[in-house]
Amino acid sequence: MVGENVTATLGRETTTLDGRPGHSLATSVQRAGRSVALVGLVLPLLLIGALKFTQFEVEALKPLIGGTPWLAWMYPVFGEAGASYLLGAVEIATALLLIAAPWSPRAAMAGGALGALTFLVTVSTMLVLPIWEPSLGGFPALGPAGQFLIKDVALLGISLVVLGEGLARLPGRSA
């Protein structure tokens, strides 16, 4: 109908039926969601990564690293503080790459891959750590370790999305 502000979606961009450029509500919500997801991925990496350089976090990691067979090797190789510092450096580097991801497909790929690896490792610790609260009957009641680690499933997913979007944006690649 003439005069009504009706939009037709053309890929991600939209135009009104009279040909004027516009944005659909769905596009705006998706853009906002992507931005919030990226910030939600970067902030924990930066903040918790920075904590890895404190004695508080060195102590907090002991049961997580020491209780996970595929991570325990880090203590004899790097020491308790060295392992924590290494993890902190990787987390901060990952966050910096993810900050650049909207402008650089290569940063998106590297940050997404490092984030995915980081969160795959942390999610995998749930297989061997006591994550269920026994006083509440165990599964599905999460204990303190489970409450801390369960969010990493979502962060793993966001990392994979960033990696995939970076791959799709490489020159010569089709989406």
pLDDT in tens, 124-147: 988 887 778 778 877 887 788 787
The tokens describing 112, both together, are: 């997404």
pLDDT in tens, 62-106: 988 998 999 999 999 999 999 999 999 999 999 999 999 999 999
- Looking at residue 13, its pLDDT comes to 54
Average pLDDT value over all residues in the chain: 85
Question: What residues contact 145, with CB distance under 8 A and at least 6 apart?
Answer: 63, 64, 126, 129, 130, 131
